[in-house]
Structure 1
Amino acid sequence: MTQRPVYAQTDAEVLTAVDVDPKRGLTPQQAAERLAQNGPNALAKGEKKTLVQRFLAQFKDFMIIVLLVAALVAGVVVHEWADAGIILAVVLLNAVFGVFQESKAEEAIDALAEMATPNAHVRRGGAVETIASPDLVIGDIVLLEAGDVVPADLRLLESANLKAEESALTGESVPVEKTTAPLDGTDVGIGDRTNMAFMNANITYGRGVGVVVATGMQTEVGRIAGMINAAEETTTPLQENLKQLGKSLTLMILVIAAIVFGVGLWRQAASLPEMFLTAISLAVAAIPEGLPAIVTIILALGTQKMAKRNALVRKLPAVETLGSTDIIASDKTGTLTQNKMTVEKVYYDGALHDAASGIQGGNRMMTIMNFANDTKIQEDGVMLGDPTETALVAYGQTQGFDLAAALTATPRVAEVPFDSERKLMSTVHQLEDGRFLVATKGAPDQLLRRVTGIATGDAVAPIEDADRDAILAANTGMAKQALRVLMMAYKVVDAMPATIDSASVENELIFAGLVGMIDPERPEAAKAVAEAKAAGIRPMMITGDHQDTAEAIAVRLGIIDAGEDDAVITGAQLDAQSDEEFAKNVTKYSVYARVAPEHKVRIVNAWQKRGKVVAMTGDGVNDAPALKAADIGIGMGITGTEVSKGASDMVLADDNFSTIVVAVEEGRKVFSNIQKSIQYLLSANLGEVLTLFMMTMLGWDLLAPVHILWINLVTDTFPAIALGVEPTEPGIMKQKPRGRKSNFFSGGVGQAVIWQGLLEGALTLGVYFVGITWPVHTGSAAIHADALTMAYATLGLIQLFHAFNVKSIHQSLFTVGAFRNKAFNWAILASFLLLAVTILVPGFNGLFHVTSLDWHQWATVLGAGVAIIVIVELVKLALRLRKNK
């Protein structure tokens, strides 16, 4: 028979299982033996990579391997050591960027370990001792009081109004009232295990005693640490696209080189060694060796822009991943909501009012909610106490209620503390006329039984059944809106009761009113949700809070519509579904309530199996496994735990949900600009390949390696990087997410690369043909030298002109603005000057094997450059017209 969980066992059963006397605790010998047997109460840290290991890991990328091979071939075989050096420098730069950005990627478990409380108060050998938290063992009797951090998982044996704040673990925004009685059932969720206290939870109220039932990795927090350790690093769409691009380029390069080599030998264009070197040179020319560095630089520039808008990126690929996001699975507490209880509705004088309108007339409700309250206000204005009670005092301050002055005039002289069984709290205050005011607050169902009168303005009358029905209806209405409702009541007595207890104080009370509170949504969150939906992104809420609360907040935010109950599911209902069932039903749900950490990971995985790119936001320890499992984990910078930040790819410095939408827009722009850079680079390289290929096939003079190297250096790098900072194109947030299946060649980019590359090559070959057919100089050598120089100048300039074309894949250059991007303008100018200097400046001619051109020849070259803009604009226009038909 399977043993029942500890929360379902009686105190005696638990104590017998761990073999301890609760009055004396473990003996020092027992504690030492158990510590030696089970190890310290600490979390196991994940295996850390050294700096060298992280650096070497950067070279596992397929594209990087291709570039390393190209560098080897360029240096050893072709003897172009400068080319090899440039390629190696680019590869090393890319590796350094990667290591720098990912140097903090493994901090999650360290942060978890640091959260553990340093000391614990335990009963050992009949005496209370303070010991280091790692020395705790199963069976230790731990004493808890307000302000303590729970040092291990405890089964509670005593609870004197004990409350624990567990939002970092469970996601529930309100401290949990703790009990000691066994719970029914064997599948009670973490948030409902009221007789348990979990490691790292904060005690906010009362006192308690518990016995340690799990330590270290066996605790609930330890289970989360294990899930973080076991979570596999997800491959981002960007990494997948670059890998696919590297493979495609390698195949293309090998095929082209083989064709050139075979056809050249067949036509006897050169000797076998010469043709082999030609084929290798062609292959080296086809590789966009600057691509990894350019992508890295564009991503780095994107991170800087995001940082200025409060989105701090910890891993470079996360910038682009945001742009492909299909699903944003958001934690509720502290992310979509303010993580601060706030008074929203008040009911008095028979009517429901918005809290902002205040409490009017002679109603004593404001006084009662502030007097029957244990909140302490520090000198700096910070409130200490239960979040529900601090919310009442904070509301009083907004309404101009001076609590300090009121307590000075009407001091508290006695109290009946809150009790989780009767669910009431009362304080007694001496009035200036010598009488006493009893202020009581509590659960409406309990307090209404003790009410005999009702206040309406300044008047008090006996309470009637109709009054009770109206009060209960108001309570039910607010509860359906997921408001936490408290009732306020009072009475004035002539003399202090002889005995201060519930029986003598909490009777014959006068109803003052009801207060409805909630952890409200962030003001900007609803707009952000709407913007996400408009961008084709599905926002979802995942929380440990109750179903009614989660559903109400989701409706208010616009995540679901009112009455859309089928879109809400609880963790228990999720457990009842097999993985196959859940995979079929996952598209139905937008709100998940009362979930455990493993549920969050399961949700993320279910969407990922459907090919969706999932972003997960969160701030608690319980969010860390899902943050790590998601395609992009988004942590909260202010309210977030170090654990959640360490497991995240991006951190929101302002905890503002709307910042995610801003980051998505930036991510989409980054991908679009990377596409533009790739379109520019590959079409340029294809033009170079076609030029060399056709020159080989036609038996023309070939461009020298120095020509190709210089063109690649001055025309590839600067314009490609400048394209990476192009402004956002209009309507980018009205497009659907491109998803995981898209790649750099999606959206017509692949076709554009091919036909535009062929066009560049054709125009270059055309200029070479013009130079041979209508020469300026005489003599075969001079004619061919001039023609080769014209082809060299054309191949370089045509790429600079073409850079203007790729400012938009589909829109006209004149629509997006030819000169909006200042960085691009300077990049084109610098590249032009570096290219022109090799022809125009004396001394460079011999170095680059070129001649001086006259104005006729320059006109031909410039005419080819202008022609590519005209032709591409006409093709774009035709494609737009066909699409709009």
Structure 2
Amino acid sequence: MTERPAYSRTTRETLDAVHTDLATGLSPAEAKTRLAKNGPNALAKGEKKTLAQRFLDQFKDFMIVVLLVAALIAGFVVHEWADAGIILAVVILNAMFGVFQESKAEEAIDALQKMATPNAHVRRGGNVATIPSSDLVVGDVVLLEAGDVVPADLRLVESANLKSEESALTGESVPVEKTTAALTDGDVGIGDRTNMAFMNANITYGRGVGVVVATGMATEVGRIAGMINAADETTTPLQENLKALGKTLTLMILVIAAIVFGVGLWRGAASLPEMFLTAISLAVAAIPEGLPAIVTIILALGTQKMAKRNALVRKLPAVETLGSTDIIASDKTGTLTQNKMTVEKVYYDGQLHDATAGITGGNPLMTIMNFANDTKIQADGTMLGDPTETALVAYGQKHDFALKAKLTGEPRVAEVPFDSERKLMSTIHQLPQGGFLVATKGAPDQLLRRVTRIVDGDTVRPLTAADRDTILAENTAMAKQALRVLMMAYRQIPEVPEEVDSDTIEADLIFAGLVGMIDPERPEAAAAVAEAKAAGIRPMMITGDHQDTAEAIAVRLGIIDAGDDAAVITGAQLDQQSDEEFNRNVTKYSVYARVAPEHKVRIVNAWQKRGKVVAMTGDGVNDAPALKAADIGIGMGITGTEVSKGASDMVLADDNFSTIVIAVEEGRKVFSNIQKSIQYLLSANLGEVLTLFMMTMLGWDLLAPVHILWINLVTDTFPAIALGVEPTEPGIMNQKPRGRKSNFFSGGVGPAVIWQGLLEGALTLGVYFIGITWPVHTGSGEIHADALTMAYATLGLIQLFHAFNVKSVHQSLFKVGFFRNKAFNWAILASFILLAATILVPGFNGLFHVTSLDWHQWLTVLGAGVAIIVIVEIVKWVLRQRKN
């Protein structure tokens, strides 16, 4: 027989099922036993890889595997142990850095999750205790009040006007009023289980008592968390680009190595092992073995900059993904808005006023909005209560209304609590001069029926039909601006009646005024939306709020134009469209109102089918599938649940839309700099390949693997990393998104890699040719040794000079600036010293198979280095002229 769900049981049945006592709760000993048996009340995280697994994962890249093979051959076949050691050092350093960065990102997000862990107030052994929520067990009796975070799934057994905000689970932004009666109408959906309080929900109003019926992964939040942990990871554009690059290089490597190996054996130029090592040397020259480390370092530097701007990146490729974003689908509340209800308009004495206008503390409107209010002001000045009520108290504080002092002189002696049927609440206060004040606030349409008089200046007069029409017109006008409107009224009575209820208190009231409130947009949000649009990115709003509110905020932010109702769609209207129909219509909509979290996945999928890169924000548990489906999921660090943070690629520490736009700019810069590094690396390596290939074909002495690896290590790696911190090029946010189909060779980079690589190889071969035809020393052995050393020095030095050309793909070096990037300047200097040391420092000659050069030879080498800057600058100038 299937066990009955907790919501269908009576209070007595619930207590019996979990074996607890409502008055005393569990004994400490019983709670300890249950905790040991069932484990802590915490969400299980996805299985984490061990340190060893993370380290081994770094060796799965094809280029790394080829290098390892080359190291084994160099050591065990040819007995070049120095070469093998250098190769292994490069590979191991790369792996260590990758592990370090992954661990750093995980530690940061774990710390953020711990900050969100709430405590719980429970009855244990007849006493009330505050314990970590992780120590809760089934059967614990939990006390709830406004401001608490629900620590587990609870069956409510007591409720005093209790309201719970459950948007993290249901997507409904309006707090839910809670009851205690059993729900016996069969299978009841989560949103309708009014006698339950769910883990991670927020109590916004009232008090209550609940019995824990589920903890950890057995809760509703935990059930969804389990689905998320089991979900597959998506592939980012960066990962796709690197994968495609790896395939291209693999094909090139195999073809070149096979040709050289075959030609060498056919000509009898060397033995089988020697020719095999030569082929491997070509492969090493073709592979930018530092690329994985360099990309990781550039991404890591990007994450550090973004962390300083409140964007915590959990997965390194997400940095670059942001740069290719076409769509930013954002929540409204807290991301585009301040997540804080604020008084914006007030109507009294027949006039509509801005909230910034002056109003005296003695004005009846000010008094009523603060007295008919259950907000609690804590010792540190923070407020607990319903967001609407705290907004009224905050308005009073801004206008010097001393609420605590007022309540001391005019204390509350009775009240008629709010209920959803009459939509009113009233409080009764004793007046110093005698008698009592009734303060009433509520929905204008309900409260106006009970009003018979109106404040008119310093007098009170009967309410006329014209007054009534004017009040209703003002209410309608504010509602059309998406303001939530409350009416304030009052009256004085000589004594408190024996029976305090709506009939005896809320009648013959005096109209004091109207208050219009809204969750206002963040001050910087409109500028961020405009910047996103200028960058070719389409910002969209997705919210569970009403259509009018969503549309009004979207217009104020510039997401849509005023009157563009066709750009707004509700969740109900979305449900009426098939997937095929919605996929055709998705470009019409920029605002989604009254949308359930499951609709977000449809929105993501529809845009992705159009080839767009989608960034999606979310803070709720049910947002997690959409965060996983998006190209980049963006979680909320303040309001977000642990599950939504865990499903995200990036977490906003400030829940701010403008932070996303800042991150997009950083992502574009990261891609641009990675592109520069790849252009530099591949053109340099192509030059190395051409040099070795032609030397083999011409029967010249070959550069050894140790030469190629040392050049790659000191003249490739340092400058390539330094190119990764090049300043942002002007106008980067005025460019359109590059799109999902773009790659690292887009924008003229591919052709530049080819012709610049060929140029490097040609200059190096030219210097070698000069070395063997214009000898300074006598004896052919010295001639070839010197020429090989000159080729080695030229190949390295040309790359250092060429690094200056790569500062911009199209712009002149003289416009970009030689020395703006200090890190780059130091990298070039360090690389030059390390390269020159192998030739100039005694003891290195034998290790690196080089000779000492005289000043004529050095002058030839330097001339080749300068030549590449001159030639590239001329070609850039010609291309710019043709484009113009």
Normalised to the residue count of structure 2, the TM-score between the two structures is 0.89
Question: In structure 2, how many angstroms separate the alpha carbons of the residues matched to 1:634 and 1:479?
Answer: 32
Q: Residue 470 of structure 2 corresponds to which residue in structure 1?
A: 470
Aligned position for 2:492: 492
Distance 1:130 1:843, change over 3 A: closer
In 2 relative to 1, CA 832–371 (structure 1 residues): closer, same or farther, beyond 3 Å? same
Q: Is the 8 A contact 1:159 1:209 kept in 2?
A: yes
- Give the direction of change, closer, same or farther, for the CA distance of 1:443–1:196 in structure 2 (3 Å limit): farther
Q: 1:215 to 1:610 in 2, by over 3 A?
A: farther
- Identify which range, 216-225 or 495-504, moves more after superposition: 216-225
Q: Aligned partner of 1:740: which letter?
A: R
Q: What residue number does 1:740 align with?
A: 740
- What residue ranges of structure 1 are gaps of 5+ in the alignment? 7-12, 123-127
SS of residue matched to 1:54:
helix
Match of 2:279 in 1: 279
Q: Is the 8 A contact 1:427 1:440 kept in 2?
A: yes
CA distance in 1, matches of 2:588, 2:157: 42
Q: What are the residue-to-residue correspondences of 1:144-183 with 2, within 5 Å?
A: 146=146, 149-150=149-150, 160-178=160-178
Counterpart of 2:813 in structure 1 is 813
1:359-438 alignment runs, 5 A limit: 359=359, 363-438=363-438
- 1:597 maps onto 2:597 in alignment: yes
Displacement, 1:729? 0.9
- Alignment deviations for residues 713-753 of structure 1 (CA, whole Å, 9 cap, x no partner): 32112111111111111111111222322222222211111
Partner of 2:858 in structure 1? 858
Amino acid at match of 1:253: I
Change over 3 Å in CA distance of 1:558–1:77 after alignment to 2: farther
- Give the structure 2 partner of residue 583 of structure 1: 583
- Counterparts of 1:244-643 in structure 2, within 5 Å, are 244-359=244-359, 363-643=363-643
Three-state SS of the structure 1 residue aligned to 2:59 is helix
Question: Structure 2: how far apart are the matches of 1:333 and 1:227?
Answer: 26
Q: How many Å separate the matches in 2 of 1:20 and 1:396?
A: 42
1:517, CA displacement in angstroms? Answer: 1.1
- Give secondary structure in 2 for the equivalent of 1:809: coil
Judge conservation of contact 2:73–2:277 (CA < 8 Å) in 1.
Answer: no
Q: Spell out the pairing of 1:77-156 with structure 2 (5 A cutoff).
A: 77-103=77-103, 105=106, 135-136=137-138, 146=146, 149-150=149-150
Q: Is the 8 A contact 2:797 2:832 kept in 1?
A: yes
CA deviation string 1:678-701 (max 9, x = no partner)? 111111111111011111111222
Between 278-287 and 427-436, report the one with greater CA deviation. Answer: 427-436
Mapping of residues 24-103 of structure 1, within 5 Å: 26=17, 28=19, 46-103=46-103
The 3 A distance-change label for structure 1 pair 563 and 221 is farther
Q: Would the alpha carbon gap of residues 54 and 261 (structure 1) be closer, same or farther in structure 2, given more than 3 Å must change?
A: closer
Q: Which deviates more, 662-671 or 608-617?
A: 608-617
- Which one-letter code corresponds to 1:99 in the other structure? V
CA separation in 2, counterparts of 1:43 and 1:842? 62
Report the Cα distance in structure 2 between the residues aligned to 1:850 and 1:797, rounded to whole angstroms.
Answer: 15
Instruction: Give the superposed CA RMSD.
Output: 3.8
SS at match of 2:401: coil
Aligned AA (2:467): D
CA contact (8 A) 2:6 2:155 kept: no
- Which sections of structure 2, spanning at least 5 residues, go unmatched? none
Render the CA deviation track for 1:774-793: whole Å, top value 9, x for unaligned.
33344433333333232222
Does the Cα contact within 8 Å between 1:303 and 1:319 map onto a contact in 2? yes
Contact 1:172 1:333 in 2 (8 A): no
- Residues in 1 aligned to 2:247 and 2:593: alpha-carbon distance in whole angstroms: 44
Quote the residue 1:790 is aligned against: 790
SS of structure 1 residue aligned to 2:611: coil
* Pairing 1:823–2:854 present: no
- 2:714 paired residue number: 714
Q: Secondary structure at the residue paired with 2:82?
A: helix
Distance in 2 separating the partners of 1:19 and 1:407:
40
Question: How many angstroms does 1:323 deviate by?
Answer: 1.5
Any idea what the Cα deviations from partners look like across 1:89-135, whole Å, max 9, x if unmatched? 3333333333333346597899699958767779xxxxx99999965
Distance between the aligned counterparts of 2:875 and 2:216, measured in 1? 66
C-alpha distance in structure 2 between counterparts of 1:82 and 1:235, whole Å: 38
In the alignment, which residue of structure 2 is the partner of 1:201? Answer: 201
Offset of residue 160 of structure 1: 4.2
| Aligned residue identity for 1:465 | A
Deviations 1:421-472 (A, max 9, x none): 2111112223333233221111111100000111122232221222212211
Q: CA deviation at 1:348?
A: 1.6
Q: Normalising to structure 1: TM-score of the pair?
A: 0.89
Distance between the aligned counterparts of 1:667 and 1:135, measured in 2?
A: 45
Q: Would you say the 8 A contact 1:684–1:757 is kept in 2?
A: yes
The secondary structure found in structure 2 opposite 1:59 is: coil
In structure 2, give the amino acid aligned to 1:389: E
Alignment check: 8 A CA contact 1:144 1:203 kept: yes
**Map of 1:125 onto structure 2:** none
SS at match of 1:627: helix
Q: Which sits farther off after the overlay, 777-786 or 308-317?
A: 777-786
Using the alignment, how far apart are the partners of 2:406 and 2:335 within structure 1?
Answer: 36
Contact 2:87 2:709 in 1 (8 A): no
Three-state SS of the structure 1 residue aligned to 2:655 is coil
CA distance in 2: counterparts of 1:780 and 1:744, whole angstroms: 45
2:529 maps to amino acid: V
The C-alpha deviation readout for 1:504-553, integer Å capped at 9, x for no partner, is 21111111111111122211111111111211222222223233222222
Structure 2 CA distance for aligned equivalents of residues 44 and 323 of structure 1:
32
- Kept after mapping to 1: 8 A contact 2:327/2:615: yes
State the Cα deviation string for residues 824-851 of structure 1 (Å, max 9, x = none): 1111122222222333445544544434
Q: Alpha carbons of 1:639 and 1:182: their partners in 2 closer, same or farther (altered >3 Å)?
A: same
CA contact (8 A) 2:71 2:85 kept: yes
Q: Does the C-alpha gap of structure 1 residues 476 and 74 become closer, same or farther in structure 2, counting only changes over 3 Å? A: farther
Which deviates more from structure 2 when the two are superposed, residues 275-284 or residues 797-806?
A: 275-284
Please give the alpha-carbon distance, in whole angstroms, between the structure 1 residues aligned to 2:656 and 2:11.
Answer: 48
Task: Look up the equivalent residue of 1:65 and give its one-letter code.
Answer: V
The equivalent of 1:649 in structure 2 is 649
Cα shift at 1:643: 3.6
Assess, with a 3 A threshold, how the Cα gap between structure 1 residues 335 and 725 changes in structure 2: closer, same or farther: same
Q: Distance in 2 between matches of 1:145 and 1:278?
A: 76
Deviation string, structure 1 residues 842-872 (Cα, Å, up to 9, x no partner):
5544544434434333332222111111111
**1:277 CA displacement:** 2.8
Check conservation: 2:138, 2:213, Cα contact below 8 A: no
Structure-2 change in CA distance of 1:843 and 1:505 (3 Å): closer
Contact 1:604–1:614 (CA under 8 A) maintained in structure 2: yes
Q: Percent identity?
A: 84
Q: Which piece of structure 1 moves more, 84-93 or 175-184?
A: 175-184
Structure 1 counterpart of 2:502, which letter?
A: S
**1:142 Cα deviation after fit:** 8.8
Q: How many residue pairs were aligned?
A: 867
| Contact in 2 for aligned 1:412/1:429 (Cα 8 Å) | yes
Distance change in 2, residues 1:143/1:286 (3 Å): closer
Match of 1:222 in 2: 222
Q: What's the secondary structure of 1:441's corresponding residue?
A: strand
Amino acid aligned to 1:375: T
Is the 8 Å Cα contact of residues 155 and 197 (structure 2) preserved in structure 1? yes
Is the CA contact 1:161–1:420 (under 8 Å) kept in the aligned structure 2? no
* 1:39–1:596 CA distance, 2 compared to 1 (3 A): farther
- How far, CA to CA, are the matches of 1:523 and 1:767 in structure 2? 62
Tell me the distance in 1 between the aligned counterparts of 2:782 and 2:130.
94
1:697 matched to which residue of 2? Answer: 697
Q: Which moved further from structure 2: 274-283 or 523-532?
A: 274-283
Distance 1:322 1:731 in 2: 17
Cα distance between partner residues in 1 of 2:332 and 2:865: 56
Moved more, 667-676 or 424-433: 424-433
**How many angstroms apart in 1 are the aligned matches of 2:142 and 2:566?**
44
Query: Is the contact made by 2:138 and 2:214 (CA closer than 8 Å) also made in structure 1?
Result: no
Deviation at 1:873, TM superposition (A): 1.0
